[in-house]
Amino acid sequence: MKKILIVDDCPETRALIHFALTRENYEVIEASNGENALIKAIQEIPDLIVLDIVMPRVDGFSTAVKLKENTKTENIPIIIASSKGGLRHLFELNKTLQVVDFIEKPFRPETLLEKIKNILE
């Protein structure tokens, strides 16, 4: 069973993604901010991370940088999920981050599932 870490400060967004992923037999881990995401990613080593950008404590961009700097988490694929479409360029400019995909909020769960399946298969 593939394990996915959902990182989003909005409980409703996490619940929606969690529901969609568990229906497809993914194991789901959740974090409400970047700081918790870093801890959970190191402890759990998920197969993929769905990462929001705008969050308290540690934002998504900083979280992605720290994940890629850590040898335990550097190869975990990251999908950025954000309502701030313009922030996509921050990731495109920083080639070391190697974010595998972006999805703009609001999105349909089916669209995210399709992206996840394409990455993990």
Nearest residue to 67 (alpha-carbon basis) of 84, 89, 45:
45
Give all domains of the chain, ordered by start, each with its CATH number: 3-120 (3.40.50.2300)
Find the angle CA(108)-CA(21)-CA(59) to the nearest 5 degrees. 75
pLDDT per residue as tens digits for the range 20-65? 999 999 999 999 999 999 999 999 999 999 999 889 888 888 999 9
Q: Sorting pLDDT into bands at 50, 70 and 90, what band is 86? A: low
Structure confidence at residue 89 (pLDDT): 65
pLDDT at 46: 98
Whether the pLDDT of residue 3 is over 70: the answer is: yes
